[in-house]
């Protein structure tokens, strides 16, 4: 595995495999790698000649009040994991190279920011689309792998790629969960023992909505009320940020369940903010 920190060097490498007519699968991460990240890498390896994992804790997607400085980091462990799981390249750029003084170009995707996580994190997705665009230009992958756990991010990145004619395929990878149902996240490390014990109730609340829909219920208000009760009883330590059923493509809130919906939730614990979702195509 090659570890690359220079943007120029990474671009030279990506040119090499393009000239050789080889394909590259790309996994963008903020590090503190876990099984979820590794499932993205496994897909990238399976479907391409080369795989690139990037690690970059992107300051642009954190609000000043958020956990940029405290975000968990362990580069030594991340390097070992990437090596063990067969990544060909690990790209770890410096913040000062990615955002040199005078940096002033941003990518925004209009129309999705008023929904779900955009409500409490108004500048978050502009940070994500800007960095992912830069990473695409540096690594020039044929396929880029993103987790369904961050469904709003995935939908926005698909839209960006379509709208801007970026010549690559965005590939969705299912959410990897701990055996008790909790979606794996780097931020789970913030959870206290009590919070960790209760946290699987977040997924249980989503599953209860899914069950109601599958048994024929179509009234979103009734479904959400039921799920909120599950959440309040199973995860009393959590503060609910949103629990919504939205359109599977536009993310617009719905009053009646349609044939393609996303049931999405965000909660705040003491230190961690956790999100999860279920995609349902009836």
Part in contact with ligand AMP (CB under 6 A); list of ranges 35-43, 116-124, 158-166, 220-228? 35-43
Part in contact with ligand AMP (CB under 6 A); list of ranges 28-36, 113-121, 205-213, 239-247? 28-36
29 binds ligand AMP (CB under 6 A): yes
37 binds ligand AMP (CB under 6 A): yes
Select the residue interacting with ligand AMP from 127, 149, 198, 212 (CB under 6 A): 149
Query: CB count, 10 Å around CB of 276?
Result: 22
CA–CA distance from 173 to each of 19, 88, 149, 196, 264 (Å)?
A: 28, 20, 9, 24, 17
CB of 25 to ligand AMP, least distance (A): 13
Q: In terms of CB distance, is 41 or 224 closer to ligand AMP?
A: 41
Select the residue interacting with ligand AMP from 171, 184, 207, 240 (CB under 6 A): 184
CA–CA distance from 97 to each of 72, 100, 136, 192 (Å)?
A: 21, 5, 15, 36
Give the up-direction half-sphere exposure of residue 171: CA atoms within 13 A in the CB hemisphere: 23
Number of residues counted as binding ligand AMP (CB under 6 A): 17
Select the residue interacting with ligand AMP from 113, 130, 185, 277 (CB under 6 A): 185
CB of 138 to ligand AMP, least distance (A): 17
Q: Is 133 in contact with 105 (CB distance < 8 Å)? A: no
Query: CB count, 10 Å around CB of 18?
Result: 13
Select the residue interacting with ligand AMP from 4, 10, 24, 30 (CB under 6 A): 30
Select the residue interacting with ligand AMP from 7, 25, 36, 231 (CB under 6 A): 36
Q: Is 266 in contact with 238 (CB distance < 8 Å)? A: no
Establish whether 37 is a catalytic residue: yes
Select which of 34, 37, 85, 115 is catalytic. Answer: 37
Select the residue interacting with ligand AMP from 25, 147, 200, 201 (CB under 6 A): 147
CB of 175 to ligand AMP, least distance (A): 4
Q: Is 261 in contact with 278 (CB distance < 8 Å)? A: no
Q: Give CA torsion, residues 227, 230, 232, 238, to 10 deg.
A: -80
Order of strands, edge to edge, in the sheet holding 260-268?
Answer: 239-247, 260-268, 273-281
Part in contact with ligand AMP (CB under 6 A); list of ranges 129-137, 142-150, 194-202, 270-278? 142-150
Q: Is 212 in contact with 230 (CB distance < 8 Å)? A: no
Q: Which residues contact 24 (CB under 8 A, 6 or more apart)?
A: 14, 17, 48, 49, 50, 51, 52, 139, 140, 141, 142, 143
Q: In terms of CB distance, is 33 or 235 closer to ligand AMP?
A: 33
Q: How many angstroms separate the CA atoms of 89 and 81, rounded?
A: 12
**Contact positions vs ligand AMP (CB under 6 A):** 29-30, 36-37, 39-40, 146-147, 149-150, 173, 175-176, 183-186
Residue numbers annotated as active site: 37
């Amino acid at each position: 595995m090659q570890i690359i920190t220079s943007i120029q060097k990474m671009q030279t490498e990506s040119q090499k495999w393009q000239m050789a007519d080889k394909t590259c699968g790309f996994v963008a991460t903020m590090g503190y790698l876990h099984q979820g990240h590794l499932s993205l890498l496994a897909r990238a390896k399976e479907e391409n000649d080369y795989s690139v994992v990037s690690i970059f804790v992107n300051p642009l997607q954190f609000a000043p009040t958020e956990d940029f400085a405290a975000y968990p980091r362990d580069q030594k462990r991340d390097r070992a994991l990437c090596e063990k799981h067969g990544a060909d390249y690990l790209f770890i750029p410096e913040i000062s190279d990615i955002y040199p003084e005078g940096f002033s170009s941003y990518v925004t995707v209009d129309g999705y920011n008023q929904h779900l996580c955009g409500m409490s994190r108004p500048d978050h997705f502009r940070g994500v689309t800007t960095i992912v665009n830069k990473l695409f230009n540096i690594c020039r992958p044929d396929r880029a792998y993103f987790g369904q756990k961050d469904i709003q991010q995935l939908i926005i990145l698909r839209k960006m790629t379509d709208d801007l004619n970026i010549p690559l395929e965005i590939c969705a990878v299912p959410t990897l969960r701990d055996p008790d149902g909790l979606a794996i996240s780097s931020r789970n490390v913030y959870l206290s023992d009590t919070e960790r014990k209760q946290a699987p109730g977040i997924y249980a609340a989503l599953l209860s909505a899914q069950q109601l829909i599958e048994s024929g219920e179509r009234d979103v208000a009734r479904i959400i009320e039921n799920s909120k009760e599950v959440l309040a009883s199973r995860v009393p330590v959590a503060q609910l940020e949103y629990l919504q059923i939205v359109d599977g493509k536009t993310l617009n809130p719905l009053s009646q369940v349609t044939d393609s919906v996303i049931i999405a939730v965000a909660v705040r614990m003491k230190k961690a903010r956790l999100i999860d979702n279920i995609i349902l195509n009836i």
